[in-house]
Structure 1
Amino acid sequence: MANNAMAFDPFVVSDIRLEGLTRVPAGTVFASLPIEKGDRLDRLRAGEAIRVLFKTGFFNDIQMKRQGDILVINFVERPAISKLTLSGNKDIKTEDLMKGLKEIGLSEGETFDRLQLDRITQELTRQYNNRGKYNVSIKPRVEDIDRNRVNITIDVVEGKASKIRHFNIVGNDSFADDDITENFESRASNWLSWYKRDDQYSREKLSGDLEKLQQFYQDRGYVDFNVESTQVAVSQDKREIFVTANVREGEIYKLVDLKLAGDLVLDEEALRRLIPAKVGETYSRADVERGAESITKVLSNIGYAFAEVSPLPDVNAEKREIGVTLMVQPGQRVYVRRVTFVGNDRTQDEVLRREMRQLEGTWFSQAAIDRSKIRLQRLGFFKSVEVETPKVPGANDQIDVVVRVEEQSAGSFQFGLGYSQIQGLITSVSLQQRNFFGTGNTVGVTVQNNSFVKRFDFSFLDPYFTDDGISLGYQLGYRELDNGDANQAQFTTDTASGDVVMGIPLSETNTVSLSMGIDRNKLTTTDGATPESLIQYLVTELGDRDRFPIPNNNPTTGQPNVPAGPFRQWTVNTWKLTAGWASDSRNKFFAPTRGTYQRVFGEVALPGSDLEYYKLNYEYARYFPMGERFSLLTRTEVGYGDGYGKTGSLPFYESFYAGGVRSVRGFEDNTLGPVEASPANRDFFQPLGGAFKFVNTTELIFPTPFTKTDSDSAQFSAFVDVGNVWKEPREFGRGDLRASAGLSFKWQAPVGPIIINFAVPLKKEDGDRTESIQFSFGSQF
């Protein structure tokens, strides 16, 4: 910086005039200028003033001149950044890079100093180096535009991430490397690295892994454990990284004392039962922290919203003993003054309020807040749900609950085109509104057509028919089904049905359902195609029917000169009562990773129906979290049915089926279980289904490949399926079970659910119909 104070004799400043300012306010200059009216100014003091003004960072050039007793200061302002653009960045989001640039004073609207170009390169290179990309190239370009402004474009060539070649831990004498690094995110390159990407170096990941390392030792009593140093070496070509962590294990400590201090609020013995750490056992930091968290949660559920529980250790290094005092600071007990909703432009407040478990005028409860959030998320009306609990100004014992939602469309009008191996081409039109006029009611109309089924459905459901959460709805439908094209026995059904449905909540996770309805079912058989046992069942239970030549047009029967045909038709009227119980604690609807789902339901054709029968079903599914991103699913389904009263057995059109894309995978849809040779072709066997069904699945769910985060709309898994169908329970035998294993991908796509399975039968018998690849996509109803 040159001293641009013109040579002048000392003088007393009578006035100060600023010239050249366009963006910088004069007030900003005067606030920094160490000269005022009436001051005596000489060249030395003028030079000091120029240095002070340069430090503001606003100017490229400053000159001082004297006009009489007036001090004139001429400024050349630095340009302003009009536009800041990043290109070529893929691994790091633009907003994250911009945040780092803003922290060094570089953002749109700010003053630009060309010396900042080096700082731009250094900052972005630092961010990429932290992600393990040491070959990154950063090239900023500056374009001068009008009105003393510039556009800055930063071209990024990320290069490939450096891979961890070795991850070495030195000093771990008590545990093997594999044990202590089991949950690390950073690992040396291995055969799964292409999928897990765990060999890509990141400073943040390494810091997290070292914290896990310390937690591992301190959970096992090594109170003095310490990571002494960490070295990260990069190969000359910057493609490989070598990580070494030097650790000192120390000695194992025993927990000799555990105290509770402060304002306990609740009974001390009750609080102690919440702490898993036990005196006399090896010290575990995790057990102590879990105890502190449990106490905090209990207090937050009875109004102490700002409770804190702090573990205070007392270490005796000589005896290798440690005592811990849990200091309880409950704070002020608060209650909720008001619950308000923000962002629900279409959905009525009442629809949200009835899901809230935190009520106005009651003590604050974190558990009630958390449960309310889950219930709102499960509605499916909102992209996001966030809950804030601001303090009420001027009141230490009150807070408000503000629920902020971002609405998404809860309705759809779809013209669907889909395909499945068993159903062929699927065309459907579906109109569904799950939040009808913002009331939370569901209205749906569906029309479906494919090679073997024509279907029309209309449904309505009011989930809060009463204030207690009792739901009420009804369904009307008509279906024409060619069962033979669905890998079932050769017969057709035309069914008209109507049902009234009711749901009664018993608790947050338990619901009882009831429905009452009537079906009118026309069954058409074909002599020479329909298995003889099915025709004889209808003849025995309902009596024989005249044959006619045109399918589904029975009125021609009995007319003169009409020859007898191969078709016979029976009409079955059925009054149905269905009752069920369901328990659902899953954390998500489409792709859950934890929780349990159970459902028991029974269906009975009431006395007076043309055929009297009942069916019982039990479904059980449990998701076990395994680490942060893996989970294990075990699922079982059992079904049983039989006739009663005047009906000898379960009607064949109500049989259970197994095999297919949603059942025992690797076997064709509906083909497992009893079969019967076709009357026209004794070498072709038609599946009959059965009155008893058992299917079990064990499935390991893991992150979808090539994605960095879990997705609620996609799920990838490896599975083992076991199951079959029997004519009746007494025929069940473990030797009859079929088994398969494979991989499955499920995606809740905009056009409807997509399922792709690759399965290999592990246990099959001669005559089983198998297929390795099974898929289904598009809207199916």
Structure 2
Amino acid sequence: MNKLCLLLLLSVLAAPLAADTFRIDDIRVDGLQRISEGNVFSFIPVEVGDTMNPAMSRATIRDLFRTGFFDDITLTREGNVLVITVEERPAISDIAIAGNRQIKTEDLMPALAGIGISEGEIFNQLELDRVQQELVRQYHSRGHYAAEVDARVTRLARNRVNLSIFIDEGKQARIRHINIVGNESFDEDELRDDFESHDRRSLYFWRDNHRYTREKLSGDLESLRSYYLDRGYIDFAIESTQVSISPDKQDIYITANVREGEVYRISDVQLTGELILPEETLRRLIRVEPGDTFSRRDMESSMEGITALLSNIGYAFANVNPMPRVDRDTREVSLTFFIEPGKRVYVRRINFTGNTQTKDEVLRREMRQFEGAWFSQLALDRSRQRLERLGYFDNVNFETTPVDGSDDQVDIMVSVEEQPSGSFQVGLGYSQFQGIILSVAVEQDNFLGSGRKVGFSVQRSRILTQAGFSYTNPYFTDDGVSAGYFLRYSEFDTLGRSSNNIASFSTSQAAAGLNFGFPVTELDFLRFGASAQRVDINLPGFFGPPPENPDAPIEEWILQIPGDRPLGISLDEDGDGLLSSSERRITTFRLDGTWSRDSRNHYLNPTRGSLNRLTAEVALPGSTREFFKLSYRFRKYWPIGDTWALGLRGDLSYGDAYDNYDAELGIEPIDPEIVEGNRRTCLIDEVVTFDAGLPFYEHYYGGGVSDIRGFDDNSLGPKDQFCRSVGGDLKVAAGLELAFPLPFVESSGTRLALFIDAGNVYRDWDSFDTDLIRASAGIALTWRAPVGPIIINLARPIRKLDGDDTQSLQFTFGQFF
């Protein structure tokens, strides 16, 4: 019918020449505006010297219409001159799209250009109508059933048009109710647990999962089918699905009619094909046994396990096909796994793309799949993990391609997307402990693309000023031995700052050191270091107002520091407290060693894996004080679903002196009444008056925003006579955390966590007492903001003693160095 209409049209258009047959002496084209005559001549099947007849006239008109450039074409004759009169279609001058939020303009424009609707192209009304219909269909598939698309054409001078597409998306239809009909063995709520779509009654309202889309419904029906097949219902079927919409096109009602069938069990499991490996080795990977309820999930897991094992020993293209034989009379299934290992292949070449700054050798040294070796999927997976953990790349992808003309070789293409690995930062932060923190840092984790780390930082806060420089070469040798060094200078001053919760003293410190690291296994690492440190300490004997009763007897207090003679201390003339102090230079030569085993899947926000780190350091003979310190850190993460994670942490730190030196920090325990009038009485833990173990400037402290939350910074543990923390030789801390995404926010850098913390600081090992353990519970918000990580804790102590300094709200922000 269409062909007949076209022939009739062409016949009418060619009517002026229908009865003429003549030899063409010339050809003229009238009506052209943008298209050149040369283009028209290239489209038509005739030229000067040809004989024009009715058939040639129809062919000429047909070919010109096929170009899509013309709205009307007429052929006439002036003598022996063929005159072609055309009416050009207008050109598109501008395209404007308004009202679209779900489909972005930058996504629509390339799609329109793909069908010829773009600025400068010839306008075709038929194509515009198709675009209008397709946009409506796209919005319907996204649940916007009230969407309307209005396309308008505005004529302009010089045969041009403007296109305006106005989109009224309307509200996305919401699922009012989901109903499953025919389920007898399982409750409907249980069947819908894995659904991505939820009705308005769902507890997951913040995720907008009650908004309807066809894609989500298809995925949910497949989840329903998998649920039954994983529980032995081989004959399960979704017989029909009805999706109805309310008259106002706002509410969706979904009904799925199912037929459950019977439960099937495994009667036999066989292995056939080319086994390659001993059958008992392969059977250990099969997760189904005779007598078990049939499970498609377990069957596929068995298939994947065998495939993975074969791929790890070079069979990159192995196929394992499970072939179930169903006996519906006995309701049993016999499973046969047919193994086709294919040809064993080795890797011919590994190529890298996308690393415009990072040198190939930096990537290649992280590869655990080597050229010339048998292909191993396990080695590739480990290589990907090592490359991702460098921190240089946003994405790391591997592509394995067979080598042309060879059936036992493959090439591996490693494509990376680099991210900035260096920074120049001017930071502004705040913490309740340090106050406002100003910092400047220049860091380069991938210096000149070599993988070497160079850093310089300066920081200034209320109590701390420090500057440092560091350098690390992670591949000092080809075997992965790392080498580095650091230089650091800092000044720490808490004199007169009682809000810091620690005893008042000030230090100036200069340190330098070097370290070497040795990989033991893929997960285990040893690090050894040596450093020299010089500390100038200014330590007052008493800092605070005198007792309320000026007639109270106050003994002369004595303070001893190694190498100094005893210094007598008494009240000053104004009665404001003691201003006398003792200064001492302390020199320490250290050796330290660390063993770590890290299997976390991510350094910043891990969801699985664990971290074990044991550190030991010792101040060598010849140091002003001779001591040792031991610490153990443990982290373990378990994934819960795709986005939740359960984390367990534990920290144990202990130190002691081995030079048998006891430094007196103050007087023997005094009568609390002497202090009661000026400061609260220390009734918690014990008042420490002697520095009998670890030097006080090496003590551990507890409490704070990233420690035992809910308690003030550095407030836990032993106190001096005025209830200021002096730290201790032993610290224990543990915590349990349940992390989950922040509602309404889709960002991997933002999350909430419910936590329980417990721990304390003790004077020494013998002072450990479970009755003194403090504990807290609360919720923490972590946000990786442009200014740096922001941490906000809302905590409540659940186990505390009278006199503890607690904080319900704790926060810190900014990038600190």
Fold conserved between structures, TM > 0.5: yes
| Cα distance change on mapping 1:265 and 1:438 into 2, 3 Å | same
Report deviation, 1:128.
2.4
Gap change, CA 1:742 and 1:131, over 3 Å in 2: farther
2:13 corresponds in structure 1 to: 4
Name 1:658's counterpart in structure 2: 702
Q: Once the 2 structures are TM-superposed, how far is the Cα of residue 686 of structure 1 from its aligned partner? A: 0.8
Structure-to-structure mapping, 1:633-648, within 5 angstroms: 633-647=647-661, 648=692
Determine the structure 2 residue equivalent to 1:691: 729
Partner of 2:356: 345
Q: Is the 8 A contact 1:163 1:199 kept in 2?
A: yes
2:800 corresponding residue in structure 1: 764
Q: Deviations over 1:552-603 (max 9, x none)?
A: xxxxxxxxxxxx9511122221111111111112222212222211211112
In structure 2, relative to structure 1, the CA distance for the partners of 1:774 and 1:33 (3 Å cut) is farther
Q: Which residue number corresponds to residue 464 of structure 2? A: 453
Among 623, 627, 634, the residue aligned to 1:613: 627
- Residue 776 to residue 326, structure 1, CA distance change in 2 (3 Å): same
Counterpart of 2:537 in structure 1 is 523
CA contact (8 A) 1:383 1:405 kept: yes
| Alpha-carbon contact 2:559-2:567 (below 8 Å) kept | no
Q: Confirm or deny that 1:114 pairs with 2:125.
A: yes
Question: Partner residue of 1:561?
Answer: none
Q: Give the match for residue 410 of structure 2.
A: 399
In structure 2, distance between residues paired with 1:26 and 1:545: 109
* Partner deviation per Cα, 1:280-305 (whole Å, 9 max, x = no partner): 21110001111111222222222233
Question: Closer, same or farther in 2 for the Cα pair 1:144/1:695, shift >3 Å?
Answer: farther
Aligned to 1:704: 742
Q: Which amino acid aligns with 1:722?
A: A
Q: Is the 8 A contact 2:543 2:579 kept in 1?
A: no
Gapped regions of structure 1 (runs ≥ 5): 550-563, 679-684
Query: What's the CA shift string for 1:481-536, capped at 9, x where partnerless?
Result: 1246443111112211111111111122211111111211222111322999xx99
- Name the residue aligned to 1:552: none
Following the alignment from structure 1 to structure 2, what is the Cα–Cα distance between the partners of residues 289 and 28?
62
Instruction: Note closer, same or farther for the CA distance 1:52–1:369 as it changes in structure 2 (3 Å cut).
Output: same
CA 1:105–1:608 in structure 2 vs 1: closer, same or farther (change >3 Å)? same
Give 1:258's aligned amino acid.
Answer: V
Corresponding residue for 2:256? 245
2:308 corresponding residue in structure 1: 297
* Alpha-carbon spacing, 1:81–1:735, altered in 2? closer, same or farther (3 Å): farther
Distance 1:508 1:433 in 2: 25
**In the alignment, which residue of structure 1 is the partner of 2:491?**
480
Where does residue 676 of structure 1 map in the other structure?
A: 720
Residue 642 (structure 1) shift: 1.9
**Partner in structure 2 of residue 199 of structure 1:** 210
- Alpha-carbon deviation of 1:453? 0.7
Q: Please, which of 750, 759, 782 is the counterpart of residue 746 of structure 1?
A: 782
Pick one of 523, 526, 530 that aligns with 1:512: 526
Q: Does the Cα contact within 8 Å between 1:24 and 1:58 map onto a contact in 2?
A: no
Which letter does structure 2 place at the counterpart of 1:394?
A: G
Quick one: structure 1 residues 12 and 294, their matched pair in 2 at CA, closer, same or farther if it must change by over 3 Å?
farther
- Which one is further off, 509-518 or 729-738? 729-738
Please state how far the C-alpha of 1:12 moved relative to its aligned partner. Answer: 6.2
- In structure 2, relative to structure 1, the CA distance for the partners of 1:53 and 1:512 (3 Å cut) is same
Aligned with 1:667 (options 690, 694, 711): 711
Check 1:581–1:30 CA distance in 2 against 1; reply closer, same or farther (3 A cut).
Answer: same
Aligned residue number for residue 278 of structure 1: 289
Supply the AA of the counterpart residue of 2:704: G
Q: Assess if the C-alpha contact under 8 Å between 1:489 and 1:530 holds in 2.
A: no
Q: Are 2:738 and 1:729 equivalent residues in the alignment? A: no
Q: 1:387 to 1:98 in 2, by over 3 A?
A: farther
Q: Is the 8 A contact 2:533 2:589 kept in 1?
A: yes
Specify the alignment match of 2:687 in structure 1: none
Q: C-alpha distance in 1, partners of 2:110/2:234?
A: 38
Aligned pairs for 1:552-567 (under 5 A) are: 565-567=579-581
After superposition, give the CA deviation of every residue in 1:680-699 in whole Å (9 maximum; x if it has no partner).
xxxxx212222222222222
Asked whether the equivalents of residues 591 and 714 of structure 1 are also in contact (C-alpha less than 8 Å), the reply is no
Superposed CA deviations along residues 703-740 of structure 1, whole A, max 9, x for unmatched, are 233234x42x3333222222222223343344332222
Cα 1:547–1:150, aligned 2, differ >3 Å: closer, same or farther? Answer: farther
Report the structure number with the largest CA radius of gyration: 2
Contact 2:143 2:211 in 1 (8 A): yes
| 2:593 corresponds to 1:579 | yes
CA 1:275–1:116 in structure 2 vs 1: closer, same or farther (change >3 Å)? Answer: same
SS at match of 1:434: strand
> Which segment is superposed worse, 70-79 or 28-37?
28-37
Q: Is the 8 A contact 1:140 1:154 kept in 2?
A: yes
Partner of 2:549: none
* AA of the residue aligned to 1:587: N
More displaced stretch, 124-133 vs 633-642: 124-133
Contact in 2 for aligned 1:218/1:225 (Cα 8 Å): yes
**In structure 2, C-alpha distance between the alignment counterparts of 1:204 and 1:24, rounded to whole Å:** 49
Structure 1 equivalent of residue 811 of structure 2: 775
In 1, Cα distance between the equivalents of 2:49 and 2:319? 57
Aligned in 2, Cα 1:332/1:78: closer, same or farther, shift over 3 Å?
farther
| Structure 2 Cα separation of the partners of residues 231 and 718 of structure 1 | 41
Secondary structure (helix, strand or coil) at the match of 2:441 reads strand
User: Residues 591, 33 of structure 1: CA spacing in aligned structure 2 closer, same or farther, 3 A cutoff?
Assistant: farther
Bigger Cα displacement from structure 2, 622-631 vs 100-109: 100-109
Q: CA RMSD in A?
A: 3.4
Q: How many residues align?
A: 756
Bigger mean CA offset, 232-241 vs 137-146: 137-146
Aligned to 1:589: 603
Map Cα deviations across residues 219-246 of structure 1 (whole Å, 9 max, x no partner).
0001111111222222222222222111
**What does residue range 155-554 of structure 1 map to in structure 2 within 5 Å?**
155-190=166-201, 192-483=203-494, 485=497, 486-529=500-543, 539=560, 543-544=564-565, 546=567
2:396·2:415 contact (CA, 8 Å) conserved in 1? Answer: yes
Question: Cα–Cα, structure 1 residues 209 and 10, in superposed 2: closer, same or farther, change >3 Å?
Answer: same
Instruction: Assess if the C-alpha contact under 8 Å between 2:515 and 2:530 holds in 1.
Output: yes
SS at match of 1:676: coil
Which amino acid counterpart does residue 802 of structure 2 have in structure 1? D
Q: What's the TM-score once normalised by structure 1's chain length?
A: 0.88
Distance in 1 between the 2:43 and 2:373 partners? 53
Deviation sequence 1:134-182 (CA, Å, 0-9, x none): 3334333445567766554434343433222211111111111222211
Q: For 1:383 and 1:54, how far apart are their aligned partners in 2? A: 51
SS in structure 2 opposite 1:375?
A: helix
Q: Which amino acid aligns with 1:756?
A: I
Residue aligning to 1:649: 693
* Residues 303/74 of structure 1: CA separation in 2 closer, same or farther (3 Å cut): farther
Letter in 2 for 1:539: Q
Task: Say if 2:162 is the partner of 1:124.
Answer: no
Residue 291 and residue 46 in structure 1: after superposition, are their counterparts in 2 closer, same or farther (change >3 A)?
A: farther
Structure 2 counterpart of 1:682: none
Aligned AA (1:4): L
Counterparts in 2 of 1:433 and 1:29: CA distance versus 1, 3 Å: same
What does the per-residue CA deviation read over 1:590-628, in whole Å, with 9 as the maximum and x for residues that have no partner? 122222112111122223322222222111112211112
Q: Structure 1 residues 359-368 or 186-195, which shifts more?
A: 186-195
- Gap change, CA 1:583 and 1:74, over 3 Å in 2: farther
User: What is the CA distance between 1:101 and its match in structure 2?
Assistant: 5.2
Summarize deviations over 1:340-396 as a string: whole Å, max 9, x none: 222323222211211111211222222222222222222222233233333333333
CA distance in 1 between counterparts of 2:155 and 2:765 reads: 84
Q: Could you tell me which amino acid in structure 2 is paired with residue 642 of structure 1?
A: D
* Whole-angstrom distance in 2 between the partners of 1:537 and 1:244: 85
